[in-house]
Amino acid sequence: MCEKQISRIILLLLLIFATTHSVALEIEHDAVFVRVIDTGAGLATVTLMPGDHYMVYDAGHWNAEDLVMERIREIIPSGATIDLLITSHNDSDHLGAVDEILQEYRVTRVIRTGQVRDTNTYRDADSAITRASTEQGTLDISLDKFDFPDGATYRFGDAYITKVTGFHEAPSTWDLISVAEKNNANSIVIRLFFKGKSILFTGDAVGRHSGQENDVPLATEKFMIENSPVITIDSDVLIAPHHGADNASSSDFIKEVSPTWVIFSAGHDFGHPRKSTAERFLNQGVVIHRIFRTDLGDDETGSEGQKEWKHNSISGHVDKKGDDDVDILIRPSGEIIVEYRNN
């Protein structure tokens, strides 16, 4: 057996140990509990707040609806009411289970950009929201019609959810050079605050142009940095923008957030998270064992795959969705624990 094969086996054993021997976090009903669901190349999160209040921020990839619903049911009992359903923007990898959520639960409020997209996933989500608004009284806070200012805050027990930014469409004055950037830069960003600790949910917020040599922040991240004296983005946990793509997580943004823990919601696609992005976090002092990813061991190939962060990757490994959820627990004492879910 060659040295390369031995190294691969060792990495595989370490990965198996890390994902099967971590202590699964228990749900505590006087605490804040967040699960970042491994939906593949997308984003879905589910949150429990004190007093059995619930939030879903983004609903995962269009081909992982069943998985997302399974994870949501583990935290939100059937028949419960979801206080907030927030879709950061209208990419299909963030909307997958919206219609299923609205069929199974009563949702008090939906917050969304209202930007129209020409996809079946968007149309299904939009129809489900409209139907819930008509039949169940769900408040549809769509930014094309509803004045929902930055800084607006909901309180659930001792937990606070604040809208940091978000637009119906990205401002025309922003330096955006592609349709993809424009469709991502309007992402609704929120900050959860509980007992002196905080989590920043960023959707696909844009902060750079991919591959740019300078690191001057732009678009969504520049806007948040400039407004941070009024609406802080300083947070203990950062669910990193755009799955760890190079067109987000500028150095100045990382410095302003100053996270202790970082989570990349990534899958086996698009070369996420990027090596360049991970290095910016490391250079800003985030320690490597506090950077989590929902594609543990992934090893993509091709031109995009070669840009992927290869820390602890396993040669030839194609990471499957659903096996690398990340859980966050904030206790009333202010203690934070971030762990991979014990699958």
Identify which of 341, 337, 328 has the alpha carbon closest to the alpha carbon of residue 33.
328
- Tokens (6 digits) for 201: 């949910």
In sequence order, the β-bridge partners of residue 36 are 45, 326
SS3 category, 206: coil
**CA distances in angstroms from 111 to 26, 40, 41, 78, 296, listed in the order given:** 29, 23, 22, 22, 31
In 3-state terms, what secondary structure has residue 119? Answer: coil
List 251's β-bridge partners, or say none.
none
Q: Fill in the amino acid letter for 34.
A: V
Q: Which residues contact 295 (CB under 8 A, 6 or more apart)?
A: 38, 264, 266, 267, 268, 272, 319, 324
**CA–CA distances in Å: residue 82 to residues 27, 97, 128, 239, 312:** 17, 14, 15, 21, 37
Q: Quick one: how far is CA 175 from the chain centroid?
A: 24
Q: Quick one: pLDDT at residue 210?
A: 94
Whether 242 and 273 have beta carbons less than 8 Å apart is answered as no
Hey, is 243 helix, strand or coil? helix
d(CA 201, CA 176) in angstroms, rounded, equals: 22
pLDDT of 6 reads: 45
Lookup: tokens for 77? 């009992």
Residue 76's pLDDT is: 98
Give me the tens of pLDDT residue by residue for the chain, a chain 343 residues long. Answer: 554 444 454 444 445 444 444 457 999 999 999 999 999 999 999 999 999 999 999 999 999 999 999 999 999 998 899 999 999 999 999 999 999 999 999 999 999 999 999 999 999 999 999 999 999 999 999 999 999 999 999 999 999 999 999 999 999 999 999 999 999 999 999 999 999 999 999 999 999 999 998 999 999 999 999 999 999 999 999 999 999 999 999 999 999 999 999 999 999 999 999 999 999 999 999 999 999 999 999 999 999 999 999 998 999 999 999 999 999 999 999 999 999 996 5
Contact 27, 48 (CB under 8 A): yes
Could you give the domains of the chain? 30-340 (3.60.15.10)
pLDDT of residue 273: 98
pLDDT digits (tens, 9 = 90+) for 285-300: 999 999 999 999 999 9
Residue 219 has what pLDDT? 98
Instruction: Report helix, strand or coil for 285.
Output: coil
- Give the Cα separation of 126 and 297 in Å (integer): 36
Query: What would the pLDDT profile of 18-60 be if each residue is shown by its tens digit?
Result: 444 445 799 999 999 999 999 999 999 999 999 999 999 999 9
**CA distances, 55 to each of 107, 179, 201, 281 (Å):** 9, 29, 12, 28
Question: What letter does residue 157 receive in the DSSP assignment?
Answer: T
pLDDT of residue 301: 93
pLDDT at position 24 is: 72
pLDDT in tens, 184-217: 999 999 999 999 999 999 999 999 999 998 999 9
